[in-house]
Amino acid sequence: MIRVLSGVWPLLLGIVLIMLGNGMHFTLIGLRGGIEGFSAAELAVVTSAYFLGFLSGARVTPLMIRQVGHVRVFAALGSFMSAGLIAFPLLTEPWAWTVLRILLGFCMSGVYVAAESWLNNAATNETRGKVLSAYMIAQTLGIIGAQGLLTLGDAATPMLFIVASILVSVSFGPILLSATPVPAAEVARAMSMRKLFAGAPLGTVGIFLLGSIYATQTGMGAVFGSQIGMTAAQIALFVAMLFAGALVLQYPIGWLSDRMDRRKLILGASVTGLAFCTLGWATAGGFWFLMISAFFAGGVTTPLYALFLAYTNDSLATEDMPAASGGLVFTFGLGAIVGPLVTGWAMQGLGPFAFWLVLGATFAAIAFYALYRMTQRASTPSMETDSYLGVLPTTSAVVVEAAATWSAELAEAEREAAAQTATTEAAKEQEEAR
C-alpha cells in the first residue's frame, strides 16, 4: 500500500486540503446564515444552489478540458473558488450567497473531474482499487478535519472564510506540481432516466432519494444546529459525526454487500437511518442523543450511495456501466437540489426539528420501495454480483465510472479463479477415484 501511495500522495494531499476548505464553507453557511438572520427557507435555497452548480459543472467541465487542457481548467476553477469563498462575508445577502454557491458548486465539480482524471491515470489495473479507496478516505478525513478548524475562529468575522480560501488556494500546489498531462477527460454520455429506471428501478429511485438525504444532512445540518441554539463547536461536532459514521460503517456494510442480497442490505440500512432520525426527533435536542443520531443516520448514507451504484451495475451489462454511472450521478444531483428545499420549507413551517422528520420520511420511502422491489424481481446470487467499492457522493462521474469498471473486472477475475479452483478440485477427485 505504501508503494502504491508513494506515486499519488501529492494528489491525495491536495484533495485533503480542498476538502478542508470546502468542508469548512459548508458548515459556515449555516453558522453565518444564522448570525445574519437568514430563514431556514432562504438557507435551503442557498444550499440547493451549490448542487445546481455542481450538476452543471459535471456536464460542462469535460468540454472545457478538451478545449484548453486539465491544468488551465483546474487552475482557473480553483482561482474562482478561492475568490468566491472570500466574497461570502462581503456580500451577506441570500441572493448573493445563492449566486456564490452556484459558482462554488460549478468550480468544485470541475476540480473533481480534473483531479480524479489525474488520479485515475496514475493508477494501474492492479492498483486502482487501493488508489480509489485511499482517495475516498482522504476526502472523508478532509471533511471531518474541516469541522475541527471551525472551532479556531468566530463565524461572525471573515476569518474562517479566509482560512477556507487559503486552504483551497494552497491545495492546488501539490496537485499542479506533481500532475502530468493526461488525455482529455472522457465522461460517457449519461444514460436517460427512463432507460436507467427500466433497467434498475430501485437504483434510480433510491439514489434520487439518497441525494435528498445527503444534501440535507451536509447543507442543512448546521442550519438545524444553529436554530436549536447549539454553539459553534457543538455544530461542528454534529456535522463531523455525520461523516465519522460513514467512515466507520463503510467497511462492514461493504463486507456484507458482497455476501448477501443487496436489496436486503439497502432495506436494513434505510431502516437504521429511519430509526436514528426518529431518535433525533423524539429526544428533542438532547446533545448526546443528537450526536448518536447524526453518527448512525449519516453513517448509513454514504454506504447506501455505494450500494445503489453496485446494485445498479449488477442489473446491467458491462458495456452499459459508464453511461449508467453518469445517469446515476445526474439523478443523485437532482435529488440533492430538491432535498434541502423541501427540508427548509418544512423547518420554516414546523420548526427546526422538521429536519429529522424529512430525513426520516425519506429513509422510510427508500425502505418501502426496496421492500416492494424485492417482491418484483428475484435476487441476484452473490457470486454473480460485482465487487463493492465505497464510492462517496462527493465524487464526479470520472471516479464512479472507474470504480464501476474496476469492480466488474475484479468480480469477473474472482469468478474465473473460483471456476478454475472448482475445475482443479474436480480433476483431483476424478484422479483419486481412478
- Within its chain, how far is the Cα of 109 from the centroid? 12
Do 269 and 325 form a contact (C-beta atoms < 8 A)? Answer: no
- Which residues neighbour 327 within 8 Å (Cβ) at sequence distance 6 or greater? 190, 191, 192, 193, 195, 196, 204
Instruction: Indicate the pTM of the whole model.
Output: 0.88
Distance CA 291, CA 275 (A): 14
Per-block mean pLDDT, blocks of 10 residues, the chain (434 long): 66 87 91 91 94 87 79 84 92 93 91 78 70 82 91 90 92 75 59 80 92 93 92 92 89 81 91 95 86 94 87 73 77 92 94 95 96 79 60 75 67 61 64 62
- Tens digit of each residue's pLDDT (9 = 90 or more) over 183-223: 555 555 667 778 888 888 898 999 999 999 999 999 999 99
Sign of CA dihedral 93, 46, 31, 229: positive
Distance CA 104, CA 351 (A): 29
Please give the pLDDT value at position 185.
Answer: 55
Distance (Å, whole) CA 26 – CA 36: 16
pLDDT in tens, 310-334: 888 777 766 666 677 778 888 899 9
Helix or strand (DSSP H, E) at 176: helix 159-178
Report the alpha-carbon distance of residue 246 to residue 263 in Å, rounded: 19
> What is the CA 397 to chain-centroid distance, rounded?
11
Sketch out the chain's domains with CATH numbers.
2-425 (1.20.1250.20)
